[in-house]
Amino acid sequence: MWQVYFKELTELMRDKKTLIFVILLPIFIFPVIFGVMGLVLSSTTNKAMNAEHRYVIVNAEQAPEFTEALFYHKNFKKVDSDLVEQDALAQAIRDDKFDVAIVIPADFASKRQHVEQATWQIIYNQSSQFDFMYRYFNELLTDYNEKLQRESLTKLNVDPVKLAAIIKPVAIEKQDTAAKRENIGEKFGALIAYILIPLCLLGASYPAIDMGAGEKERGTLETLLICPISRVSIVLGKFFTVLTTGLAGALITVASFGIWGAIIGSLAGMSVVEEAMSAISITELVLIFSLLLPISAVFAAILLAISIYARTFKEAQNYISPLTIIMFVPLVAAMMPGIELNAKTALIPIMNVALAIKELIKGTADYWMLALIFGSTIALAGIAIGFCVHWFQQEKVLFR
């Protein structure tokens, strides 16, 4: 078995593609992903914050002070329009004639004199993820509301100083007990698992295909089978070679995640990210790697079984493509809101590892749950390895 292992490993190390997939890709994938995500997010946010919004205001004379404040705001540009109906204004926004319409009731000034509440309408496209326009409008309206409140209270001979206590007798001050690391882990922990686990599959894919379907194409599998080595030793040697490449990719990926996360947080001046990354201990990184070990064994066994069944390298790639899609289903499910690590999710393959990695990054991992995940994944890996060994002993599979 070990002779086969070292033979296969030596051949893989001579292959440049293996070095790219197993070593170079994990080392550089994190800075590229983090850098691109940070650049795109920063650029998009700045663009949204500084965007100029064209607006139409109906019955502006009813609120001259608010109208003036809106006119001089740097993020708003007034557009003239004769439209007053809600449907017509909405259609004009869809036609990109302007971005937002503010409709002030025609009797607003009269209601103010009688101290009656009025309802304004703001019409705009709310599909944007960066809704800074409404935030700016709401800030202006809040200031205007406070001014009107003071005026109304003065007319009613109420002390304006007690305005806050009169309008809102009880105020709530929120205090977050979650650490910064926990907040960051909740938001980005599942994303890290979304990157780590596919890289384990990717690191094992090429070697697995090459050692099964690749040997069939080259005609070297028959030569290996006539050697005085049992088929179990041959398949286990190949399996451990695939597992080694997958784990090497995982180990390099985990190290890359820790190192680049700290470097990017430091260089970008992101103190929160730097603080969160520095809080992740070596023990937790080792646990992340330990969780990736059995799932990598599952991937290695399945990939090798597929490769042994396939006639050609291309056919093996076609079989592996659906496996990649299936793998992303539990990963995406782990990223959904409300999905937490518990006794049920701890038994769902791939999802359990993704949720455990998120908990480790958050610093809130339950070690009993980690033990359950580790045990269940090892059991699954054992079943996959057993199937792979059985598969390799079938003549109809080897010589398709």
Structure confidence at residue 113 (pLDDT): 82
- pLDDT at position 70, please? 92
Closest CA to 192 of 294, 369, 331: 331
Asked if 190 and 354 count as a contact pair (C-beta separation under 8 A), the reply is: yes
pLDDT at 264 over 70: no
pLDDT for 103: 92
Query: What whole-number percentage of the chain has pLDDT above 70?
Result: 77
Q: Where are the alpha helices (DSSP H) in 95-179?
A: 108-113, 132-155, 163-167
pLDDT at 97: 92
For residue 56, what pLDDT is reported? 93
Residue 57 above 90 pLDDT?
yes
> What are 116-175's pLDDT values in tens digits?
888 999 999 887 767 788 899 999 998 998 888 877 777 777 766 666 676 677 777 777
Which of 4-13, 136-145, 241-250 is the most confident on average? Answer: 136-145
β-pairing, 121-124 vs 100-103, is: antiparallel
DSSP three-state, residue 113:
helix
| Of the listed ranges 28-42, 66-80, 100-114, 138-152, the one predicted with least confidence | 28-42
Q: Where is mean pLDDT largest: 41-45, 216-220, 256-260, 356-360?
A: 356-360
Percent of the chain residues past pLDDT 90, beyond the cut: 13
Looking at every residue in the chain, the average pLDDT score rounds to 79
Q: Is 327 helix (H, G, I), strand (E, B) or coil?
A: helix
Query: Rounded distance, CA 63 to CA 118, Å?
Result: 12
C-alpha distance from residue 357 to each of 40, 245, 291, 351 (Å): 26, 21, 8, 10
- Collapsing DSSP to helix, strand or coil, 179 comes out as coil
CA–CA distance, 237 with 227 (Å, rounded to integer): 14
Burial of 331 (0-12, 13-18, 19+ CB in 10 A): buried
- The three-state secondary structure class of 61 is helix
- pLDDT of 100 > 80? The answer is yes
- Give me the amino acid identity at 357: I
The SS3 of residue 121 is strand
User: What's the pLDDT score for residue 190?
Assistant: 67
Tell me the per-residue pLDDT of 14-48, one tens digit each, with 9 for 90 and over: 766 666 666 776 677 666 666 676 667 777 778 87
Considering 6-15, 75-84, 246-255, 323-332, the range whose residues carry the highest mean pLDDT is: 75-84
